[in-house]
Structure 1
Amino acid sequence: MIRFEHVTKRYADGTTAVDDLSFEVAEGELVTLVGPSGCGKTTTMRMVNRLEEPTSGRVLVAGRDTTATDPVELRRRIGYVIQQVGLFPHRTVLENTATVPRLLGTGKARARARAAELLDLVGLDPAVYGDRYPDQLSGGQRQRVGVARALAADPPVLLMDEPFGAVDPVVRERLQSEFLRLQSQVRKTVLFVTHDLEEAVRLGDRMAVYGQGRIEQLDAPATVLGSPATPYVAEFVGADRALKRLAVTPVEEAHLEQPPTVRLDDPLPSGGPAVVLDAAGHPYGWLPATRGAGGTVREQARSMDARVPLGSSLKEAFSTMLQYDAGWVAVTEAGGDRRYLGVLTPERLHEALRDSVRVVTPR
């Protein structure tokens, strides 16, 4: 969908921002560009919509050289989200979101209907927020409007330049989660610029680690963390890269333990600890090894709040263990039913992390 062919960007003062860059972003793929300030990642992205023109080489979108397309027309068909959003202060949220469809000739009623649909998609009820103005929104809400506006013309390509960088860490994490959910539905081809390694790891199908004007490594985040291609990449991702792998390694059924289980209204069994399930097979609590005799399971079951769905990251599972001071975390189905599947212990979590390293081909 996006292809760079030996692209160089050199400024009049002799500065080379991008040096002989060649890579491709597949349709529906999200590639994060990460690196220190001034490394060329934003310049790379801005050459896609011709806010910067390459000195040499070609940038192609859907097989077409961008220099063969009128830049204004090109930008109208590529979604663009920046850190400061750039909403029109004198227009309502609904009007802001409908801007690009209106510029493309879509009728007012249809454009507003599309805007309302997208606001709902990014978690903003159009009935509540549609008639508000940007200064009546929080920073996180404005970022959501910016994403909705970028998607309003249904562009195949989305460019995002530090879109969540201006909000606090808690809101930033929520926006990242919301964007991952959204991307799973719309599957746009995305270039996402960030200086935050953890954000690049969490969001990217692949991540490009920049040196000075060059990509040092372009791989799946797990591969970059587990097998850095160069000493520079190893230094950039840090000595704690094994811990960062927790964020990109999912909880899988193969790593779960199966302790004894009992049903909530069963007679109290003898023996060691057990997981307590309700009649539908959902985790309810647990029985300690030391307990009284007689009665029902319900009477002596203790609550069990430490639980995550299958497919959650090992980081989420580990954080949940720490949050509830638990020796293990219950794992449930990822779908709506959330039936119990097993438990993840610290030992099995460590094993899962080791296994994830083994699947990376050493460089």
Structure 2
Amino acid sequence: MIRFEHVTKRYPDGTTAVDDLSFEVAEGELVTLVGPSGCGKTTTMKMVNRLVEPTSGRVFVDGHDIAGTDPVRLRRGIGYVIQQVGLFPHRTVLENTATVPHLLGVKRSAARDRAAELLDLVGLDPAVYGDRYPEQLSGGQRQRVGVARALAADPPVLLMDEPFGAVDPVVRERLQSEFLKLQSRMRKTVLFVTHDIEEAVRLGDRIAVFGQGRIEQLDAPATVLGAPATPYVAEFVGADRGLKRLSVTPIEPGDLEQPPVVRLDDPLPRDLGAHWAVVLDAEGGLHGWISAEQAGAGSGLVRDHARRMEAWLPVGASLKQAFATMLQYDAGWIAVVDREEKGRFLGVLTPARLHEALRRSTAADARDVARGDVDLETVSRR
């Protein structure tokens, strides 16, 4: 959908902002451009909608060389979200959101209907917020309006320049989560500029790590964190990249241990064969757990003594979520269930297995093999 071919941007004073850049962004892909200030990531993004013109090379959008496209027409077909939002202060939220459809000749009623639909999509009830002005909104709410406005003309390409950088960390994380949900439904082709490697890792299908005007590495987040291509990338992602990698490494069935299991309607066993056992319902769904002490001292059915399970996650959740859940409940393990409605129990994840999963994932990326094919005995512990 977006393609750069040997693109260079050199300013009259001799500064080279972008140097012989070539890369592609597939349709429906979200690529984060990350790097320090002045590295050329924002310049790169702005060349897609011709806010910046390249000195040499070509930029293609949907197979067309944009050098031959009228800039105004091009920009009206590309969504653009910036950190400062850029809402018109004298227009209501609904009017702001309907701006681009109006410019494209959509009838006022249809444009307002589309704006209302998108406000609802980003979590702002149009009946409540539609008639408000930007100054009456919080920073996070204004940012949501900015996203809705960028999507109003249903553009295939979305450019986002530090869109969540001006809000506090709690709101920022919430906006990131909401945007990921939106992207999973709408599958826009997105270039997302950020200086925050954690944001880049969380949002990107791939990450482009910029050095000075060049891409040092363009890879999946897990690969950038687990196998940095250059010393520069390793330094930029940080010495704690192993911890960052937790957020992009999913729990897999092969990571789990199989503890003793009892059923709710079983007679209470005198000996569990372990310090505790997982309690399941008749369909194999997770109910809770029971300790060996409770089993040995009680009588009746398991359901009379079982405790509810609070520390659990679905398979595919990140190792970071798993670690956070262990800490939240002061748990030595968490239960893992499938993603079906009834939550069939699959096994438990312990801290030792979490560490093994992280090591196996890192080694798999380095060797370009499946995670299950990694023998940890052959992986260095350095």
Q: What number of residue pairs does the alignment pair up?
A: 363
Secondary structure class of the residue paired with 1:59? strand
Correspondence for 2:299 among 289, 294, 297: 294
Q: Are 1:341 and 2:339 counterparts? A: no
Distance (whole Å) between structure 1 residues aligned to residue 83 and residue 342 of structure 2: 38
**Alpha-carbon distance, 1:248 to partner:** 0.7
Distance 1:255 1:85, change over 3 A: same
Secondary structure class of the residue paired with 1:142? helix
Matches within 5 A, 1:110-259: 110-259=110-259
Distance 1:230 1:303, change over 3 A: same
Secondary structure class of the residue paired with 1:360? helix
Q: Gapped runs of 5+ residues in structure 1?
A: none
**Alpha-carbon distance, 1:133 to partner:** 1.9
Secondary structure class of the residue paired with 2:31? strand
**Alpha-carbon distance, 1:110 to partner:** 1.3
**Alpha-carbon distance, 1:280 to partner:** 5.0
Query: 1:357 corresponds to which residue?
Result: 362
Query: 1:28 corresponds to which residue?
Result: 28
Secondary structure class of the residue paired with 2:292? coil
**Alpha-carbon distance, 1:361 to partner:** 3.5
Query: 1:277 corresponds to which residue?
Result: 280
One-letter identity of the residue aligned with 1:294: S
Query: 1:75 corresponds to which residue?
Result: 75
Distance (whole Å) between structure 2 residues aligned to residue 119 and residue 267 of structure 1: 55
Per-residue CA distance 1:107-129 (angstroms, 9 max, x = gap):
11211111122122212222222
**Alpha-carbon distance, 1:335 to partner:** 4.1
Per-residue CA distance 1:334-353 (angstroms, 9 max, x = gap):
24443332211112211211
**Alpha-carbon distance, 1:78 to partner:** 0.3
**Alpha-carbon distance, 1:332 to partner:** 2.1
Q: Relative to structure 2, which stretch is displaced further, 42-51 or 125-134?
A: 125-134
Distance (whole Å) between structure 1 residues aligned to residue 118 and residue 285 of structure 2: 35
**Alpha-carbon distance, 1:284 to partner:** 2.6
Secondary structure class of the residue paired with 1:32? strand
Secondary structure class of the residue paired with 2:366? coil
One-letter identity of the residue aligned with 2:357: A
TM superposition score normalised by structure 2: 0.91
Q: Gapped runs of 5+ residues in structure 2?
A: 369-382
RMSD (Å), alpha carbons: 1.6
Q: Relative to structure 2, which stretch is displaced further, 110-119 or 45-54?
A: 110-119
Asked if the contact 1:119/1:126 (under 8 Å) is kept, the reply is yes
Per-residue CA distance 1:212-267 (angstroms, 9 max, x = gap):
11111111111111111111111111122122111111111221222222333433
Q: Relative to structure 2, which stretch is displaced further, 216-225 or 351-360?
A: 351-360
Correspondence for 1:303 among 283, 291, 308: 308
Distance (whole Å) between structure 1 residues aligned to residue 364 and residue 116 of structure 2: 44
Q: Are 1:97 and 2:97 counterparts? A: yes
Asked if the contact 1:227/1:362 (under 8 Å) is kept, the reply is no
**Alpha-carbon distance, 1:73 to partner:** 0.7
**Alpha-carbon distance, 1:6 to partner:** 0.8
TM superposition score normalised by structure 1: 0.96
Distance (whole Å) between structure 2 residues aligned to residue 74 and residue 305 of structure 1: 51
Q: Relative to structure 2, which stretch is displaced further, 247-256 or 70-79?
A: 247-256
